[in-house]
Amino acid sequence: MSGKKDRDKGSCTALELIDFKNALEQFQNLVEKMIIQKTKESSGSYIKDDEEIDYEKFHTTIRALFGPAVKDQNVQAFFRKVMSSPDEKPEWLEIFGCFTGESDGMSSPTKESTVLLVSEKRQITHSVVKRKDVIKGIVKVPLLHFTITASQRGVLTMFSKKMKVLATIDVEDPTWINGCDFLPNLKYVVAVTESTVILWDYQSKESQSDGFVIKPMKNCLLCVCTVTMADNLAKDTILMGDDKGYVYLLTITNDDFIMKQSRAEKESQFKVLDSESFDIPKRKLHDDWVGKIRYFSALKCFGSCSTDSINSFILDDIKRLEDHLPVKEFSVPKGVNAFTYCGKAKVIVTGGNDRILRLWNPVVNFSPVGKLFGHKHSVVEIVTNEKDQHVISLSCAKVFRVWDIQTLSPLQVFYESHGTPEEMNAFPMVFDNDHGMLFTGSDVIDIYPLANVIQDLKELPQTHEKSLNVVLYNRAFHQILSICTESVLKVWDLETGSQIYQIEDAHGLNTEVTCAAIEINGVYLATGACDGTVKIWEFESGQEVKALPLAQHSNDEHRVLKIVYLKADEDQHAVIVLEQRGKIKIIQGDSAQTDLYVTWVLSEIVPFPRRNPVVYLSLKPSSLETQDFFPEIRLLCNTSSMRNDTETFLSSVDIKCFDVLKVEGCRLIATGSANGEINLWDFESASVKCLGKTTEDNQGSGVNAILFLIRSVSSSRKRSAMSPTPSVRSDASAISEQGSSLDLHEEENAESYEINTEIKTAEETPSRKNSQNPEMSVQLLKAKAGQSPILASAHESSCIRLWSIQGNLMKELLPFSEHPSGPLTALCTDIFTKILLAGSKKGYIIRWNMASFLEDPRNKKNEIKEELCWRAHATEVVELFIEEEKNVIVTASIDGSVRLWHAMTGYYFGYFGQARKFELSDTSRLILPSDVSNFPAIIKEESKHMEKKVKYPLMLDRDKWKSLTRLPSDLEKAEHGEAAHGFKYFKALDSEKFQTLETFEFVSKEAGAVFGFLPIYELENPIEVSMPKSLQRIKAEKSSHKGREKDPDSIEELSQDK
């Protein structure tokens, strides 16, 4: 029986092999027909018939031959390669996306490539435009190496090869200039205004006129170009487009300048040529304004575009303007704003208001051969780099994008800061293929040079198009969640950096997702939005589970700033959220309800006594029947009657962050405000304390992040046999991580430094016997300094303050770095609470080791040691976390990037969204993001000790100095007791004393060091002090005069008296 199955299997394989060979033969025959067809088209001998192979027919045939084994992008690339280079027959493997040797169709992110060096940008500002003026046209004249610019208010300028002004003119006609070009045969510059055609003679002398003007034109002219043909050197042909959709064909000869002049009533800047004397054929080709017009000598065709969705782009011979035969029309939704032609790739590229760049075969007008996606705004200009077959596109949002036509891949993105949004609608751009430079115009001329670089090193890291709001880590799936201000939610694989899926507009169109949390087991995700809505999702599938409906009067006050997961299972979900105006709510949902609903609200305003800012609460235990997390409270005083009370102050409602700690025997909520106020709600002692309240206006006291830290003395713990995956914790769902709740299940073979405190949420309490997670063994928190929780707060003043839950300030940490780190904006710790990480507003990351300190904070020898400081971003860090297993740190910033770093050295691995995969094992190469220039600084103890010494100036304390020094003449005035007091210098001799400058407080720098703090030494054998004989005689005479006889040697006794 098995032998029969083997024979059947072998026969099927043979049949499949025969079918593939037949399909391959048919495919090769199809390619041969395409090459013959393209060769005949190039020679002009091809006659169209029913056997013509276009892209649609080619795509259909390939699908019929190979089925889903080929991808659309490979089919497009293969077809484009055959049609553009019929002499170079591609390999059949390329249809399946397999490339060999130099024919690799995918651009490697690390290969050498040409990019525009934005950092080497050059600006030309002089003699270009008037005040409040913009450049409307830039033209390169290849043979003469000229550059011509035309400004909107009438300034025409010609530059040399080195961009020096050769000639310039200010057109007196007040009408605006809309475009310009160069007449190569007549050597004139042509420019069009609303109703005239200007012909500027840039070689004219002062005694002569500046050129000619053709007027009047019936419609408003919007664009102009020159038809480059070498058949006649005595004339030039120009094409023009107007606001009615007409395209004009105007031919000018030298004789016209003499024969068709009009008599001018007075002398003017230009000689007038009557437009009625010219034969100007015109044809209506568009139903809207003609945006741009160009002539392609390689195709012997002109092209014009419009925002008309039907006749969006026209490509045909200029003869069609006179014979009125049908023209070749390209239809694009929302029209075309710009277009270009790449002669080497033989493709037309168009772009418009739908933000898509389309690649067209010039002979196929019904379907593009490729599309380029990436722009978020309307495309207003496109140019071509012929040598490298690159397309450079510009959007109205001032974003430049460089594309590879062959691989349809983006190469570079950069931003231009000049000009207003109104000016960007007509932003001229031209590429100099001879010198490899990009010219752009606004109120100045910007010149970007090309350079051969390693592409990956010049890319600006970008994970999202907009600033980031959220970055979280799902420890169960080893995946990262990132959400930007544009409400694009992306999920990434941590190890490789590849994207798994994304969700757009998770809370609706134009609704910003502001925060998120992942529950402890990683199964569910909660998100909060700017309109106050909250949603629950399945993390793995991205499917919505439940939602909190939008409130009737939703406004900015309901904006959700922070969300923390309390419980998640199939029967019940519970999250706690912080809203814009300081309200903290618990939102729940169960299987009986389709939507989420609010079950608990915390008072946002509390009146505190100024002397002792502690308020006791009245709890309602009965409220735990509806939600078993925190009881409802009632303040024991009326807040409205105390608003003008000088003995009290009201708590701030401008709360920026909060954290939750719920373990057995401890239920705490901590909030941080913009004015530096920290409120600690203790539901075990039924009280709320105000920490760190400042009476004066201190701008640097604001709290940006707050975090509970728990660490206790080692203890043996046994793990339950039914416990789930150990140590699965989310940045925003578990306590003690990024303003979240801590819930740690113990691990096997626990180290002595592991945390032995775990969260006890509703599913883990003994009252719920049917819980999915059985109760874990937990060591109760002790009311000791070394075992109770510690609260960490990050401030605008660049410091971190550590508080006990009794409200005492235990420690203040200042980052040690060469450059100021700026206000601290984010905090996180590892699962063992050994490492504390902080992110700053200037993009710095600081790492502290606090293992020994948390074991016994009362021991002064247990210090918090700063180990590492580096700049991870050029802008503010919004979130960060550490992954202990991979030993990496992930940071996110408002620059739109999520970056990966080595936790111990700060080595840069890359960013999420890059083309290459992460190599976490390779830390040998020192690389940095393109916007960061400083390498990480490892803080050593000896360098830190020397650098941290405060350099105070020496100050003389004159009072102390007088008491230590007495003149000999003063001794004769003193009695025995007074003399002894005068010699207290010798009495004060003591053992050597050392008082280092480290003893000064941070806030008392003005104290300084005084001479009295210098070491004082004790003499073992006191020396005898003898008085000179002259002083002895004076002393004796004064003593005898007073009737006091005394031996002069008695002074010696005083020197020995202590």
Q: What was the pLDDT predicted at 808?
A: 87
Taking the CB of residue 995, how many other CB atoms lie within 10 A of it? 12
Percent of all residues in the chain with a pLDDT value above 90, rounded to a whole number: 24
What is the C-alpha radius of gyration for the chain, rounded to an integer number of angstroms?
41
Helix axes 72-84, 55-66, angle to 10 degrees: 130
When pLDDT is averaged across residues 1042-1057 and rounded to a whole number, the result is 45
pLDDT at 293 over 90: yes
* Cα–Cα nearest to 656, from 675, 676, 678, 673: 673
Residues 6+ apart with CB under 8 A from 230: none
Signed CA dihedral, 723, 727, 733, 735: sign only: positive
Taking the CB of residue 857, how many other CB atoms lie within 10 A of it? 22
User: CB of 739 within 8 A of CB of 657?
Assistant: yes
* Cα–Cα nearest to 66, from 114, 118, 120, 21: 21
Least confident of 435-439, 690-694, 782-786, 988-992: 782-786
**How far is it, in rounded angstroms, from Cα 655 to Cα 659?**
12
Residue that the structure tokens 């890059």 belong to = 914
Select the highest-mean-pLDDT range: 217-221, 569-573, 1005-1009.
217-221
Q: How far is CA 729 from CA 436, 449, 737, 759, in A?
A: 53, 49, 8, 11
pLDDT at 491 over 70: yes
pLDDT at 735 over 60: no
Confidence of residue 239 (pLDDT cuts 50, 70, 90): very high
Q: What was the pLDDT predicted at 1058?
A: 37
Confidence of residue 161 (pLDDT cuts 50, 70, 90): confident
User: CB of 381 within 8 A of CB of 423?
Assistant: no
Residue type, 952: Y
pLDDT at 711 over 80: no
When pLDDT is averaged across residues 741-750 and rounded to a whole number, the result is 35
Select the highest-mean-pLDDT range: 281-290, 678-687, 731-740.
281-290
Q: b/e string for 700-712 if b means 16 or more Cβ within 10 A?
A: ebbbbbbbbbbbb
Q: Which residue has the higher pLDDT, 515 or 633?
A: 515
Helix axes 2-43, 55-66, angle to 10 degrees: 170
Q: What was the pLDDT predicted at 263?
A: 64
Q: Which residue has the higher pLDDT, 421 or 911?
A: 911
* Cα–Cα nearest to 617, from 630, 629, 635: 635
Confidence of residue 1040 (pLDDT cuts 50, 70, 90): low
Q: What was the pLDDT predicted at 948?
A: 40
Residues 6+ apart with CB under 8 A from 224: 178, 179, 180, 181, 190, 191, 192, 197, 238, 239, 240, 241, 293
Confidence of residue 993 (pLDDT cuts 50, 70, 90): very low
Q: What was the pLDDT predicted at 108?
A: 40
Q: b/e string for 518-547 if b means 16 or more Cβ within 10 A?
A: bbbbbbbbbbbbbbbbbbbbebbeeeebbb
Residues 6+ apart with CB under 8 A from 263: none
- Specify which residues 313 forms β-bridges with: 305, 330
Label residue 759 exposed, middle or buried (CB < 10 Å: 0-12, 13-18, 19+). buried
Residues 6+ apart with CB under 8 A from 575: 517, 526, 534, 563, 564, 565, 566, 586, 587, 588
Percent of all residues in the chain with a pLDDT value above 70, rounded to a whole number: 70
Q: What was the pLDDT predicted at 51?
A: 76
**How far is it, in rounded angstroms, from Cα 141 to Cα 450?**
19
Six-digit token string for 962 = 């007088």
Helix (H, G, I), strand (E, B) or coil at 1013: helix
User: CB of 204 within 8 A of CB of 264?
Assistant: no
Centroid of chain to Cα 304: 39
* Cα–Cα nearest to 176, from 200, 149, 196: 196
Q: What is the dihedral of CA 551, 556, 561, 565, to 10 degrees?
A: 0
- Specify which residues 658 forms β-bridges with: 671
Mean pLDDT of the chain: 75
pLDDT at 550 over 70: yes
User: CB of 957 within 8 A of CB of 1010?
Assistant: yes
**How far is it, in rounded angstroms, from Cα 515 to Cα 506?**
12
Select the highest-mean-pLDDT range: 129-143, 729-743, 788-802.
788-802
Helix (H, G, I), strand (E, B) or coil at 855: helix
Confidence of residue 861 (pLDDT cuts 50, 70, 90): confident
How do 544-548 and 534-538 pair as beta strands? antiparallel
